[in-house]
Amino acid sequence: MRESHTRALASLDDDANVTDLLVRRAAEAPDHVAFEVPPPAGAGTDAWSPITTAAFLAEVRSLAKGLIAVGLAPGDAVAIMAPTRYEWAVADLATWFAGGVVVPVYESSSASQVAAIVSDARVRVGIGGGPTHIALLTDALASVDDTIGVWGMDDLPALSARGAGVSDDELEHRRTRAGHDDPATIVYTSGTTGEPKGAVLTHANFLGQVRNIAAAYREVVHPEGNTIIFLPLAHVLARGLQLICIASGMRIAHLADPAAVVPTLATLRPTFLVVVPRVLQKIQAAAGEKAAAKGLSGVWARARATAVAAGRLAERKDAGLPRRIPLGHRVRHAVFDALFYRRLRAVMGGRVDYMLSGGASLDAELSLFFRGLGVPVIEGYGLTETTAPLTGNLPGRIASGTVGLPLPGSTVRISEEGEVLAKGVGVFAGYRDPRHDAEAFVDGFFRTGDLGRLDDAGRLVLEGRVKDVIVTSNGKTIVPVRWEAAVEADPLVQHAVMVGEGKPYLSALLILDAEQAAAWAASAGLPFDAGTPAGLRAVDEPRLHAHLQRTVDAANALVSRSEQVRRFELVVADLDDRELVTPTLKIKRTVVVDRAAETIASLYRGAPS
């Protein structure tokens, strides 16, 4: 199968632009709690404060009037640079109510990156989360003509007060001015393989995604549910999820620090979470470590295997295939549920019905494990240019190892070269700079740059990046993603980078998870320097290397001989370095190869060809 399509489930005729999503929801359920905000720092309480849809709308309208009062014109760009927090949502919607275009800036961006975005998007207003963000935006706007100013999120009430003289009629005129084809946001891609590009997403792109995804996932996103958004709101997935929740009445809490999520789960008890695979790996690894500390490693291994088996049985049921559940399996599952599974669900708050995983490939066995616990993981796939999800598994139709069917209103095609091509309601029309469009489209389809295939049911299976293929000196073309994903399933490995372009065999760099590696070293009585270097630093620890050799051997067993890695080195790196890692935590392969040139060269010295 070379093309798969899912028909649209929703019409966009009732919505002129994105602001209608909030206006309609506020009219339907003004007193419904839309957000929960944390107590002020130092308040000494864990109580989160509710904010109704009507109260949120009032804040949005007030800030929009303030933006109009200070001179924001229709179509003007507003840059928002801040950690994930409630005020981000207010500023986002207020910009649209005032007729502006939102330009999100990752809070970790460097001064040069901020300056480039502000200049390219011709930003007139900046909104920063704190002093550092305000300073970066202020410096960047200083080099742009005809700017208005920069405000901090803690100063937004003062900006809102400046709009007291703006009438409701004027605001309504501004709010309803934009149509389906007008730009809603310019999102600059994180640039794993090249320079960042400004993707222009329209109001129709957001409306098409929100309405169709909400219709397809009613079991997941609904007024009785709640979620925690801790992904950066500069990421289109987080903003798309936020709009879906606002339109569907699902309660939202924001957290800026991912490390604070687990301690907060017991308080907020979400029904749905969006995570990256690394979070799931760490949850599983932490449970294994606790079991080992109690001398229960063998019992935990059997519990893991039982959960995976339960996940497979559940997926057979989803697929309508016959399944027989042996009595022994039911007994084991009940025992392990009492010992482990119930506690893991409690760690996640005890109410999670589903999790959505994206941002990287999810190991099929890890997906089955969580399904067997009773917390299905919905894996999806998308890009900035597709306004977040393009494909996704659906409740009751999850197939681990795939990223699901095209979402309603979308089509996926596989080119002759194996590249994933996309068309549909969320697919953008082009970049801000038309020069970037020349190679981005073919036959009306967007070229994703990802390799994949469609299974017999039309579900997408990802197989790597077009630009990440390696051609060895003997002419073999290697797609490293399967091997790398298998190694990255080890909690000690943050990133695996296969190398070998033009070489007689394949090697790899294993970038360690410094925290996990330090803990392993401590348990083994070994010294380990967890300090983050300015570049990449090789780790010479034979016992750790020998330990991870087993992980490499297991990954090699999954691939053909020509795809196997012969030698590898362990390295540590500063994973907060945005020249090395994108804001969405993807490693920049070319930067790794450049910085680790000497280490890579050592992998080919004195070795047989």
**Residue 194: pLDDT over 70:** no
Give the domains, in start order, of the chain with CATH numbers. 18-178+225-270 (3.40.50.12780), 277-466 (2.30.38.10), 469-602 (3.30.300.30)
Side chain identity, residue 233:
L
Query: What's the pLDDT band for 472 if we cut at 50, 70, 90?
Result: confident
Range with the lowest mean pLDDT among 12-16, 192-196, 482-486?
192-196
CB count within 10 Å of CB 386 equals 26
Helix residue ranges per DSSP H, 297-414: 297-318, 327-336, 342-347, 364-373
- pLDDT by residue (tens digit) across 62-100? 999 999 999 999 999 999 999 999 999 999 999 999 999
**Residue of 377, 406, 372 lying closest to 391 (CA atoms):** 406
pLDDT of residue 562: 85
pLDDT of residue 476: 81
pTM of the predicted model, to two decimals? 0.86
Q: Between β-strands 123-128 and 506-512, what pairing exists: parallel, antiparallel or unpaired?
A: unpaired
Cβ-proximal residues to 95 (8 Å cutoff; 6+ apart), any chain: 64, 67, 72, 78, 80, 101, 102
Most trustworthy range by pLDDT among 84-93, 456-465, 581-590: 84-93
Query: What's the pLDDT band for 532 if we cut at 50, 70, 90?
Result: low
Query: What's the pLDDT band for 193 if we cut at 50, 70, 90?
Result: very low
Q: What is the mean pLDDT of the chain?
A: 91
Arithmetic mean of pLDDT, 92-121: 94
436, β-bridge pairs? none
- pLDDT by residue (tens digit) across 385-428? 999 999 999 999 999 989 999 999 999 999 998 999 999 999 99
pLDDT of residue 241: 95
Arithmetic mean of pLDDT, 191-217: 87
Arithmetic mean of pLDDT, 109-131: 93
CA distance to 78, 229, 504, 566, per residue, from 607 (Å): 56, 49, 10, 10
Q: In what order do the strands lie in the sheet with 251-254?
A: 49-52, 33-37, 251-254, 226-229, 272-275, 354-357, 377-383, 388-392, 405-406
CA distance to 51, 191, 343, per residue, from 87 (Å): 12, 27, 34
